[in-house]
Structure 1
């Protein structure tokens, strides 16, 4: 018997030989493949996975990567009309003007810049016709995108658009963002729900995206984020949380109100001397009713806040609390002290 090959050698052989043959010119022919053809190709990949003992990209995933790679190569190529050299940029702008579009250069994605891949895809999609017309007039070895690849870019654009909205929402430095985290995550998870009409590569993308998002969510300070969300008048209905978790948040806020009352009481050094022991029993008679009154007062404070009408998503929570301090004095102090005090200087 021969010696077993190392997993890395088997992977290198697969990528350099089998995958290279299977995906040769995949951008051209994959879009017209039948479902049966795609399943046959995928069976080869599954067999290779069992042999190598490693997870391998599906044929559809490889095609998606090639599609983005070609889009990037169009933007990067110095001989391409989208490149930022003056002559080529001028040629593209002439075609843009002839098609009644605004003159612009194409955008290149950068790994360290948020939403740059989405902006690159949107720009290429928008300049589809001017790009084709300019390519016809130039001599180069760079192929344009096929119709199937444009369709795939359109699907990717739809998937990435909610991410752009959330990053812009959380990236502001002059408004409250901590209370938006959980509603934003809920929005992303809802928009990436898998549907029956999703193609296989979209299903895999959504599954991987949701898995990564849930992992990141678990690594945050969820308890603190829940309280911040409850104290934001835009999201105090807590619809971003499961119903079973909502009441627990209000109980924690109630406890914070009680703790604040305890902190505001005078310290022992300032208190009057302890009364005679004979009078202790008389004092204890009223202790239970007084504590009940305090608890009821705390509950009423929260009930009054929860009964406030819903506000627009464009409402600034800091300004809202400033305008409602008289009605929710103690709760407003907790909101400012624990969540948004550090943002006052930015307002």
Structure 2
């Protein structure tokens, strides 16, 4: 039954791609299974005719055990997009910062590429946290968390103190080296139950070093620095709403929050935390310095009614506006060429029983070759300016829902939004897919064949949109 359902699902997805997809954003990532099989996943994201962002899995293919060079990955990516006939529809491809996948996408295939925003932010935070003072404190906390996870006596004591304090019982969380967010959650939970942790360790005397009062202050202030990064990561990791348009404004907001932290805080930050704040700000400036040079994301931002011209650089705002006017002009000309309006005037209409006869043949012959210069360009300017003059919508509103309501008022801009707003900011959809794959290829089902795993993932991810 599974091969049959797989082929049926694949056929339905191909119909959707042929009829609905005009522009597609791809995300890709790699994963190693429990049995050391390498997989590469490719997901596609487009906006349908109802202005709803849709996602599907193109393929999760097994890679040979050899070297996964950029050339090898490029061959697999080319094979997948050619099989689905979407090579001419690719808007942008999102991946992590791995040199091999970047080389494959940018050099071998020549596609537009963007490094996963969440991954880049993760690298920036890890770099900022990599100083001796902060690392020592985090290591002490990890040792304490590890103790409570391994010791039944320790956990029972900690649980008892939480119950006596009238709190909900919460376990300490351990961080994962590949995800800085887990470090944030570990520190946040540690602060929530700090009194109970201190009481438990004091009574148990397990030989662990307790945090000093200054170290507790450092952790509390460090959370203030990391909290905006955690919020940004969560917001940018969505795939059911547009994220590409928020890349530039949310980076601006994140940098501003780090500056306001020292302006609004009554007490100065401890030296260790101030160093993290300064280093993190520098990493953000360095790693995201070229965002406003990326035309895909500047156009995405312009076409989001929540942001429009919310650029730090006025020259970038002006250039983006000119770029959008040019894109809209092209859309108008394409529409006119399709309907024949570019090379002929409208035929005369009869009103009532009055009819203009052959005496107007000369008029029609003369006027059909007269086309006002710049008509498409002028109409583009008017439509773009009316859009800019319209009110900016609330930050919590859906830009695609707004376009669905206003597509008749701004027909060409709405079409452009459908072509551009599907650009995602992260490759998180592939990471979520691998979480599903980990549940399928579990410890008790490690003998599942590669082909079966591929089919099960494909069916599970794609059945929900057909």
**How high is the TM-score relative to the length of structure 2?**
0.53
Give 2:251's match in structure 1, choosing from 185, 197, 200: 185
Counterparts of 1:222 and 1:214, CA distance in 2: 15
CA distance in 1, matches of 2:416, 2:244: 15
1:313 has 2:395 as partner: yes
For structure 1, list consecutive stretches of 5 or more residues without a partner in the other structure.
1-59, 274-281
C-alpha distance in structure 2 between counterparts of 1:213 and 1:328, whole Å: 36
Kindly provide the CA deviation profile for residues 65-93 of structure 1, in whole angstroms up to 9, marking residues without a partner as x: 2111111111112xxxx325544322211
- Aligned with residue 327 of structure 1, among 395, 400, 409: 409
- Matching of residues 1-347 of structure 1 within 5 Å: 61-77=131-147, 82-83=148-149, 85-193=151-259, 195=262, 197-218=268-289, 222-236=294-308, 238-266=309-337, 287=371, 290-340=372-422
Change beyond 3 A, Cα 1:144–1:198: closer
User: In the aligned structure 2, how far is the partner of 1:270 from the partner of 1:310?
Assistant: 34
Q: Structure 2 unaligned segments of length 5 or more: list them.
A: 1-129, 345-365, 430-463
Using the TM superposition, give the Cα deviation of residue 333 of structure 1 relative to its aligned residue in structure 2, in angstroms: 0.4
| Aligned CA distance change for structure 1 residues 318 and 90 (closer, same or farther; 3 Å) | same
Going by fraction, where is helix more abundant, 1 or 2?
1
SS in 2 for 1:185: helix
Shift, 1:256, TM fit? 0.4
Alpha-carbon displacement from aligned partner over 1:260-292 (angstroms, at most 9, x marks no partner):
12333438x99979xxxxxxxx889955xx234
Give the whole-Å Cα distance in 1 for the aligned partners of 2:165 and 2:373.
Answer: 76
Question: Aligned partners of 1:271, 1:256: CA distance in 2, in Å?
Answer: 17
Query: CA-atom RMSD, angstroms?
Result: 3.2
- Greater per-residue strand proportion: 2
The answer (yes or no) to whether the contact 2:154–2:200 under 8 Å persists in 1 is no
Separation (CA, whole Å) in 2 of partners of 1:171 and 1:216: 18
Contact 1:110 1:117 in 2 (8 A): yes
Aligned-partner Cα distance in 1 for 2:379–2:211: 67
Q: TM-score, normalised by structure 1?
A: 0.70
Cα offsets for 1:214-263 (capped at 9, x unmatched): 23224556221111011111111x33432332121111100001111233
Tell me by how many angstroms 1:177 deviates.
0.6
| Greater RCO structure (CA 8 Å; 6+ sep) | 2
Rg comparison, structure with higher value: 1
Partner deviation per Cα, 1:35-90 (whole Å, 9 max, x = no partner): xxxxxxxxxxxxxxxxxxxxxxxxx943222111111111112xxxx325544322
Deviation, 1:195, is 4.1
